Structure 1
Amino acid sequence: MNLHNLLYGIRGITPEEFQFLSQLTTGMTDEQAQRFVMLYSGKRFSTDTVLLFTLLGFIGVAGVQRFATRQIGMGILYFFTAGLCFIGTIVDLINYRSIANDFNQTVAVESAQMIKMVYNR
């Protein structure tokens, strides 16, 4: 199966994410690429999900987007300061795409390393 078709099958993939994943999966066999896409797509967040988590900060649960993207320290800070008095939540609302992209790139690298470890035995 074509790698590009696998990547396009990921729901809500952005052009930047597609380009990054294309570079990351260069040299993978078809089986490795299929397993990578399955692993990665189960762990990634769409930008809409991060936006939804950020909007939760306005109804009293600030920092959910930071906890979900493994930024525990910032999540705790946002939680106890009401999203830094809503200023941090507003900034995250503006930058939710970059928060999602940064998280997804980290998850993609981890997933690729796992796949390469399993297949390099």
Structure 2
Amino acid sequence: MDIFQSPFMSLPGITPEEYSYLQQATTGLNEQQLRNFLMVYSSKRKNPSDMLIFCLIGLFVVPGLQRFIIGQIGMGILYLFTIGLCFIGSIVDIVNHKNLAYEYNQKMAFESLQMVRMGGFQ
């Protein structure tokens, strides 16, 4: 399948690493399962550009916002009470915003695959 005809290309801000991971993870799914996977996954994933915005808001307005959004509640509370680990943690998160989004998206892809494979959607 041509990369530009792939259903994964409809995901906003998809990176080559995420594309490759999704192709490997969805090997063996039939067309209906793939459609269901995309529906579930696209509602859960975070766009790296959005993650950058969350990190900037986390630096200047609400320390730890980016960690709360990706489900790391403990780290979010730590950032909140230490002002983003004295701004250093928030700055590191800005630099690594693509990695934060990718790791979160991997978890969401795994969860979405489990839902589809267990028959949560028919």
Pairwise TM-score range, normalised by the shorter structure: over 0.9
Query: Which one is further off, 6-15 or 76-85?
Result: 6-15
2:94 maps to amino acid: L
Q: Equivalents in 2 of 1:32, 1:62: separation in Å?
A: 39
Q: Equivalents in 2 of 1:41, 1:120: separation in Å?
A: 15
The CA deviation string for residues 9-65 of structure 1, in whole angstroms up to 9 with x for no partner, is: 112111100000000000000000011011101100010111111001232301011
Structure 2: runs of 5 or more not aligned: none
1:79 aligns to what?
80
- 1:69 lines up with 2:55 in the alignment: no
- Return the TM-score normalized by structure 1: 0.93
2:90 maps to amino acid: T
Residues 82 and 25 of structure 1, relative CA distance in 2, 3 Å threshold: same
Residues 76 and 50 of structure 1, relative CA distance in 2, 3 Å threshold: same
Q: Equivalents in 1 of 2:77, 2:103: separation in Å?
A: 19
Structure 1: runs of 5 or more not aligned: none
Tell me if structure 2 keeps the 8 A contact 1:54–1:96. yes
2:96 maps to amino acid: N
- Return the TM-score normalized by structure 2: 0.92
- Cα RMSD (Å): 2.1
Identity among equivalent positions (%) equals 47
2:38 aligns to what?
37
The CA deviation string for residues 65-85 of structure 1, in whole angstroms up to 9 with x for no partner, is: 101111111000001111011
Tell me if structure 1 keeps the 8 A contact 2:41–2:108. yes
Tell me if structure 2 keeps the 8 A contact 1:47–1:97. yes
SS of 1:28's equivalent in the other structure is: coil
Number of residues of Structure 1 aligned to a counterpart in Structure 2: 121
Q: Equivalents in 2 of 1:76, 1:120: separation in Å?
A: 35
